[in-house]
Amino acid sequence: MVTPVAKAPIALRNSVVFKPILARSVVPTAYITMPHRCMIRVKMGATLITPSERQRYSECLGKVRHDAAISREAAIQLIGCPDSIVPDMLAAARSAKEKFKPGVITYSRKVFIPLTNLCRDYCGYCTFRRDPSDPGAHTMHPDEVLAVAQAGEKLGCTEALFSLGDKPELLFPEMRESLRHLGYKSTLHYLEAMCELVLRETSLLPHPNPGLLSAEWIERLAAVSPSVGLMLETTNANLLAPGAAHDDAPDKIPAKRLKTIEDAGKQKVPFTTGLLIGIGESLADRVDTLLAIRDLHERYGHIQEVIVQNFRVKPTIPMAHWPEPSQGEMLRTVAVARLIMPKLNIQAPPNLSAPYYEELIDAGINDWGGVSPLTPDFINPEAPWPHLEELRLRTESKGCELRQRLPVYPEFISAAAAKSDLLSNKLLGSAGDDGLVRRAA
């Protein structure tokens, strides 16, 4: 059923057949209901497709029904498909998700620890980074780190997400002096110590996002954190050009980021990565970034989750007048990610797609990522986390149960536990029989 909407959406009970009805407005909105309680908003334009074009899209989606990942060519077609194809694509993506992990959407209850916001990269979309002289520049002290972790522990958090600038001491003498005062040779040495502090003194498990890493540092951090993260963001090196998103960001060279992800794979370290959409890349670039992640996982089996994150405009950034990706772009990209990687965990942050974030379930996600009841999203401070009760209700409205996970996914716990006795003991005490957070007795 398709219902043109003039007022607030109404609940539709019928299972769906997509029959567009055009209202008088040029681009009316339709609410489309499909199996699995899937209800999405679609802008109903006048674009028509021929029977042969529809057949081509059907052939792309037909492979998914046999548990086969789609090809690059099919992915490029689908990621730019017209609105009339979107319901079929979302239905295929949701079906693939339900075959992979039926009936459950997970999240990680976390505290966000911005260890330092000094960074040597100047990305055009970032408000997190600071120079030492900028207002708000700060490197946390160990007592601050521990205080945040202990406060999160009282609220049932199980993840300490460490975010920090990439090797700021290489650019700023002020950071070198701060590290000397703290007693550490580098930011990574300090991060390692703070991960171990949280691991030993609280029940939280660290998940660091430190930027580029050598093989040695991957091994060291894996001994004090069950998972590590680095967003690939894009495989398009043209975004390093003057005036582009990664101008003056030496750590955003795609080949270097791919090497870090590969080195983690060689060591079987559970790894989080993903893409950032809307920063100047093409639709084909989005597909190629997803395929690069899939290829690394097929070689090493270590990618625990793939994040699809959308660029958000902020008034103080160089890209302040850049257009944000639409909800339709997000739905298409998430669905294509699911169809390219039907048996990988796909995540999208709910706070960056508010107020309609539950539609991401229709596109095939199986995880919301980290959500904090305590700390803000320091990367996107304008986008507050949803309250956990609201998140549960919206998840259930799509026919799924919301479950809390650890920062490492259940299927990767054994790999993480093998890295150190300390990690093994912590994971054993935190995980239930299903690998998710142990339920209260």
Do the beta carbons of residue 375 and residue 112 sit within 8 Å? yes
Q: What average pLDDT does the segment 42-50 reach?
A: 61
Residue, of 203 and 39, whose pLDDT is higher: 203
Q: What average pLDDT does the segment 161-177 reach?
A: 98
Q: What is the pLDDT of residue 40?
A: 54
Q: What is the pLDDT of residue 22?
A: 29
Residue, of 374 and 26, whose pLDDT is higher: 374
Q: What is the pLDDT of residue 66?
A: 65
Q: What is the pLDDT of residue 42?
A: 52
- pLDDT tops 60 at residue 4: no
- pLDDT tops 60 at residue 27: no
Lowest-pLDDT choice from 51-60, 204-213, 375-384, 412-421:
51-60
Domain ranges of the chain: 2-100, 104-430
Query: Over the chain, what HEC string results?
Result: CEEECCCCCCCCCCCCCCCCCCCCCCCCEEEEEECCCEEEEEECCCCCCCHHHHHHHHHHHHCHHHCCCCCHHHHHHHHCCCHHHHHHHHHHHHHHHHHHCCCEEEEEEEEEEEEECECCCCCCCCCCCECCCCCCCCECCHHHHHHHHHHHHHCCCCEEEEEECCCHHHCCHHHHHHHHHHCCCCHHHHHHHHHHHHHHHCCCEEEEECCCCCHHHHHHHHCCCCCEECCCECCCHHHHCCCCCCCCCHHHCHHHHHHHHHHHHHCCCCEEEEEEECCCCCHHHHHHHHHHHHHHHHHHCCEEEEEEEECCCCCCCCCCCCCCCCHHHHHHHHHHHHHHCCCCCEECCHHHCCCCCCHHHHCCCCEEEEECCCCCCCCCCCCCCCCHHHHHHHHHHCCCEEEEECCCCHHHHHHHHCCCHHHHHHHHHHECCCCCECCCC
Residues in the chain: 441
Q: What average pLDDT does the segment 213-239 reach?
A: 98
**CATH placement of domain 104-430:** 3.20.20.70
Lowest-pLDDT choice from 56-70, 174-188, 217-231, 278-292:
56-70
Q: What average pLDDT does the segment 74-97 reach?
A: 95
| pTM given for the model | 0.90
Residue, of 220 and 63, whose pLDDT is higher: 220
Q: What average pLDDT does the segment 98-107 reach?
A: 97
pLDDT digits (tens, 9 = 90+) for 243-299: 999 999 999 999 999 999 999 999 999 999 999 999 999 999 999 999 999 999 999
- pLDDT tops 70 at residue 1: no
